[in-house]
Amino acid sequence: MNKLLGVTGCPTGIAHTFMAAEALQQAAAANNAQIKVETNGAVGVENELTAKDIAEADCIIVACDKNVDMDRFNGKPVIEVPVADGISKADALIKKAISGTVPIRGGQEKGFLEISDDNFNGKPSIGHEIYKHLMAGVSNMIPFVVAGGVLVAISFLWGIYSFDPNSEQYNATAAMFKAVGGASMGLMVPILTAYIANSIANRPGLVAGFVAGTIALSTGSGFIGGILGGFMAGYFAKWMVKILSGLPKQFEGLKSIFLIPLVTVAVIGIIMTLLGSPVSAINKFMMDFLANLQNSNPIFLGIVIGCMSAFDMGGPVNKAAYVTGTLLLGEGNFYFMAGVSAACITPPLVIAIAATIFPNKFTKDERAAGFVNYILGCTHITEGAIPFAAKSPLKVLPILMLSSSISAVLTYMMKVQVPAPHGGFLILALVDKPLTWVACILTGSIVGAIIYGLTRRKPL
């Protein structure tokens, strides 16, 4: 029996990580292979691969959208793919792993592979490498945004101006919540920038990344400046490490503590300061455009957000909508996030409701998984719909995109405000029109569930 190893990890470390692990385990069992999967989730590394595991492995499958220690696999056959392929192409990955044709990994770094179902030897994808670095920043930023956003939202329970000493609504407790939450939210751009740079160049990029993010925040260039600064800091620091690698070992401390931080901070800091004004203008234009769009054309905005959120459910397109919503929260715009959250909550509810009202269209296992989607949907975890969409993407994805668009459009038309970036229905007490928001989401979900149920074939 072939002994295989797997490593899975997604940017947030919540759903895709464990779905890919389960898919690989099921595919290995179906192909009479043994596999141990290490998961790099939100709580850290679980089921970590040991040196003995690696030495005995016939092949290693790395399905990750985040950085993991790859050097430990040098000299072993390694397949490196995005985490989404670990879910949707698990069987093809296992078949390739046991075929004996997987290239041996050398000492050099390799990028992700562009793959088809039967070809896992493509060229490294530069686009996916960029996405991986960007998501490294986003995944580290999200906890700050969620914690800060919820605390700021809690302060609104005493009134929208309860933090203002000059207002009749002023409350000292509310002001404290607002201050603490604001401090957490205020760190989101520096954290985003720093961990993009860290993902590219490890610790040498971290210092310049933090400085670049802080300058982006102070100059008003916001998340656009932060992203730009993160990539500049990371790649410049990586270049500095390379050109200084020839220095004698005696200068290692001088290089890592003095030369690299000094030069990278100086160069990147000056560049970010000079770029501050033009990038700030671009950032302001984008924020104003989105704010005006939600007032002038909520239907178009809702369709765009709905389609983006349901298209890949936790992937890069979904994350683009979500990150934009969280960043607009920091600007005090609570309308945009309401539509994004509604669109993200809808897909799993479509699956759950369809499994409830059309039970004969689903197998026993699918009904059980469908009912779990009630919990996932209500807590803003879109990924629960992925297994159902993966089985028939051309049929299911358009239905989910339509459903999410309906939910988002109705939310924007009803001018619902959601001041917290996550939590689903757990944060209803913080929503200004909670029943209206729920009604908007259920409308889109029920419409999608009926279409999905009617177009789905009965299992054989």
Q: Pick from 354, 342, 430: which is nearest to 382 by CA?
A: 342
Top CATH class of 3-124 equals alpha beta
440 is a catalytic site residue: no
| pLDDT value of residue 440 | 95
Interval 45-96: pLDDT, tens? 888 899 999 999 999 999 888 778 888 898 899 998 888 788 888 888 999 9
Q: Which 3-state string (H, E, C) describes 344-403? A: HHHHHHHHHHHHHHCHHHCCHHHHHHHHHHHHHHHCCCHHHHHHHHHHCHHHHHHHHHHH
Interval 354-363: pLDDT, tens? 999 998 888 8
Residue given tokens 């028939």 in the structure block: 392
| pLDDT value of residue 128 | 67
> Alpha carbon 57 to chain centroid distance?
30
- Which residues, other chains included, contact 71 with Cβ-Cβ below 8 Å and sequence gap of 6+? 107
Q: Which residues of the chain have pLDDT under 70?
A: 12-14, 42-43, 107-125, 128, 160, 314-316, 330-331, 460
| pLDDT value of residue 314 | 66
Of the residues 10, 59, 344, 440, only one is catalytic, namely 10
| pLDDT value of residue 124 | 46
Q: Pick from 418, 423, 450, 420: which is nearest to 436 by CA?
A: 418
Residue given tokens 């979900």 in the structure block: 445
Domain boundaries, the chain: 3-124, 127-281, 298-455
- Map residue 6 onto helix, strand or coil: strand
